């Protein structure tokens, strides 16, 4: 089609190109460029041969020199001719395309430059090794440093056998091993998509706990430990909620960055070498070569890495279910509740809240008949009902333990309400003390009405004394609850 309107003329074309202040007009695959003969002749290439007369030049009727190549990367070719170097794009596909164009134009320096970059950034889809390293940390700061440096979702398994405050139940040791085996199976299956971290420190009171991070933010957690209150003493119970762990593991994949190139959309452009994607793994792999016994723990943290073979057999029924149902978990579940055992109702925090609710119910019952006598009695009655409802709702929020995402907000609100309630109950106690002393002196004029006929003035003063004592006790209980929640949060 080019021959239908273009007539190649080597002599006339070269003469017109050399004219007009040595500027040349290039039509490279439909893309138009203006440059000078000096730029095209800087390097020993096919372009120098074209515009020195050694290679025929084809022009169209408008004087554009035709080059039958793609013009996508020709601007990079011109920049290399002008400056001698170009910034290599962070895209393997584009670098390979520039390399092919450089080979066509016989620019050996640019070919070598591209080849060096390609060798330093191997393909993403190369076969992965059969042994995968899992960093093992000892402190919370080390775990947070790993999570912040990782670009992938993170699953952290916390195993702390140092917490021997209570004896374990019969099946606890077996369940701890099952949790570790499940962790190893997940590593073998998702090592290329999720960063797995094992925390064996002793900074937490938990014995076995899973945490799931997406985009460097804690998304969910599964606590496998609970305290069982037996008749003689307390026991530590470790469970194996495999279905819940599988569910959270699949949900965390929703936060995965598949590594697609923003320039070309391919997933094989980038490298997954430790130095490129996971700088933390490179650091921990180097420390793995050291002898842990020679490192002083108080002065220098110890990092170990455990090797897991991906060809280990996976015979668990749950693992087969996981393999078949991976695409179905396409939703993000950030808010989850974990129900505590019924024995938790005997814990100190739950006993405090139940006692507060009982005391407030007593206040409301004893003040019910005094609402028409004096308007402050009505306010104290409504106040007692409100705090009773709050105490029961906060007790339920602790029983149905929510995840860390909402825990901070709930604890902040609870601390504020407990502090305010403590001062209000103390104020109600002092106010009723003043009212009691007035009534004992025979002064009832501040009341709108006298007590009902079925309740004498003496009995009403006894009721006010009971309510007064209940408010004082509730003020003390709210103070203890405030201190308990501030110290421990959710058990």
Determine contact, residues 160/201, Cβ cutoff 8 Å. yes
The SS3 assignment for 108 reads helix
Q: What is the token pair recorded at 321?
A: 């279910």
Homologous superfamily in CATH for domain 131-334: Glutaredoxin (3.40.30.10)
Specify the pTM.
0.38
pLDDT at residue number 342: 58
What is the Cα–Cα distance from 209 to 393, expressed in whole angstroms?
Answer: 26
| Nearest residue to 461 via CA among 355, 358, 357, 373 | 373
pLDDT at residue number 333: 38
Q: Which residues contact 278 (CB under 8 A, 6 or more apart)?
A: 149, 150, 151, 152, 195, 272
What is the Cα–Cα distance from 277 to 311, expressed in whole angstroms?
Answer: 24
> Per CATH, which fold does 2-120 belong to?
Potassium Channel Kv1.1; Chain A (3.30.710)
| Nearest residue to 238 via CA among 197, 206, 267 | 206
pLDDT at residue number 129: 57
Q: For residue 219, with 0-12 CB atoms within 10 Å meaning exposed, 13-18 middle and 19 or more buried, which class applies?
A: buried
The SS3 assignment for 379 reads helix
Instruction: For the chain, 491 residues long, give each residue's pLDDT as a single digit of tens.
Output: 334 434 444 445 444 444 444 788 999 988 899 899 888 888 888 888 888 888 888 888 888 989 988 888 999 999 999 888 888 888 888 899 999 999 999 999 999 999 998 888 876 555 455 677 889 888 888 888 888 888 889 999 988 877 667 778 888 888 889 999 999 999 988 888 899 999 887 667 788 889 999 988 889 989 888 888 776 778 888 899 989 999 999 998 888 876 556 555 555 555 444 433 344 443 333 333 333 333 343 333 433 444 444 443 433 444 444 444 443 333 333 344 445 555 666 777 788 888 888 989 988 888 887 777 788 888 988 999 999 998 888 888 776 655 444 566 777 888 888 899 899 999 999 988 988 888 888 887 777 777 777 777 788 888 889 998 999 998 999 898 888 887 765 44
Phi and psi, residue 304, nearest 5°: -120, 160
What is the Cα–Cα distance from 362 to 368, expressed in whole angstroms?
Answer: 10
| Nearest residue to 37 via CA among 59, 11, 58, 15 | 15
pLDDT at residue number 290: 36
Contacts 24+ apart (CB under 8 A), 9-16: 9/59, 10/53, 10/56, 10/57, 13/56, 13/57, 13/58, 13/59, 13/65, 14/51, 14/53, 14/57, 16/59, 16/63
Domain boundaries, the chain: 2-120, 131-334, 344-488
DSSP 3-state helix, strand, coil percentages of the chain (rounded to 5)? 50, 15, 35
pLDDT at residue number 337: 44
What is the Cα–Cα distance from 153 to 256, expressed in whole angstroms?
Answer: 6
- DSSP-assigned letters across all residues of 228-260: EE-SSSEEEEE---HHHHHHHHHHHGGG-----
Residues in the chain: 491
- DSSP-assigned letters across all residues of 27-89: EETTEEEEEEHHHHTSSSSHHHHHTTTSS---B-TTSPEEE-S-SSSHHHHHHHHHHS--PPP
**Residue owning tokens 């430990």:** 225
Determine contact, residues 359/390, Cβ cutoff 8 Å. no
């Amino acid at each position: 089609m080019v021959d239908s309107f273009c007539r190649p003329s080597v002599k006339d074309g070269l003469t017109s190109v050399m004219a007009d202040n040595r500027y040349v007009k290039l039509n490279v695959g439909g893309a138009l460029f203006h440059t000078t003969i000096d730029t095209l002749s800087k390097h020993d290439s096919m372009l120098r041969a074209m515009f020195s007369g050694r290679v025929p030049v084809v022009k169209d009727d408008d004087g554009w020199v035709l080059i039958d190549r793609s013009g996508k990367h020709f601007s990079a070719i011109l920049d290399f001719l002008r400056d001698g170097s170009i910034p290599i794009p962070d895209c393997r596909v584009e670098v390979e395309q520039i390399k092919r164009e450089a080979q066509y134009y016989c620019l050996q320096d640019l070919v070598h430059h591209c080849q060096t970059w390609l060798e330093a950034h191997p393909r993403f889809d190369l076969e992965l090794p059969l042994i995968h390293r899992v960093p093992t940390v000892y402190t919370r700061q080390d775990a947070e440093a790993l999570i912040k440096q990782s670009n992938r979702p993170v699953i952290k398994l916390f195993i702390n056998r140092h917490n021997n405050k209570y004896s374990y139940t019969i099946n606890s040791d077996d369940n701890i091993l099952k949790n570790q085996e499940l962790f190893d199976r997940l590593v073998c299956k998702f090592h290329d998509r999720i960063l797995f971290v094992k925390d064996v420190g002793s900074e937490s009171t938990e014995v076995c706990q899973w945490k799931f991070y997406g985009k460097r933010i804690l998304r969910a957690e599964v606590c496998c430990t609970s305290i069982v209150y037996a008749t003689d003493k307390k026991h530590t119970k470790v469970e194996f909620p495999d279905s819940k762990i599988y569910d959270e593991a699949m949900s965390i994949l929703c936060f995965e960055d598949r590594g697609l190139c923003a320039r070309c959309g391919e997933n094989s452009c980038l490298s997954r070498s430790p130095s490129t994607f996971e700088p933390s793994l490179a650091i921990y792999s180097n420390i793995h070569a050291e002898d842990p016994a020679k490192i002083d723990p108080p002065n220098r943290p110890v990092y170990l890495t455990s090797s897991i073979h991906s060809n280990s057999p996976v015979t668990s029924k749950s693992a087969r279910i996981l393999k078949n149902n991976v695409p179905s978990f396409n939703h993000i579940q950030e808010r989850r509740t974990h129900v505590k055992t019924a024995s938790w109702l005997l814990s100190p925090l739950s006993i405090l809240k139940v006692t507060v609710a009982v005391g407030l119910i007593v206040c409301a019952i004893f003040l019910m008949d005094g609402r028409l006598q004096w308007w402050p009695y009505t306010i104290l009655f409504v106040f007692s009902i409100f705090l009773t409802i709050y105490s029961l709702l906060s007790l339920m929020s602790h029983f149905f333990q929510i995840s860390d995402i909402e825990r901070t907000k709930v604890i902040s609100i609870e601390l504020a309400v407990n502090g305010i309630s403590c001062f209000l109950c103390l104020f109600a106690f002092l106010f009723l003390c003043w009212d009691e002393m007035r009534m004992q002196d025979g002064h009832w004029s501040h009341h709108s009405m006298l007590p009902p006929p079925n309740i004498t003035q003496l009995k009403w003063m006894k009721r006010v004394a009971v309510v007064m004592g209940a408010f004082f006790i509730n003020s003390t209980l709210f103070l203890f609850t405030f201190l308990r929640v501030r110290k421990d949060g959710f058990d």
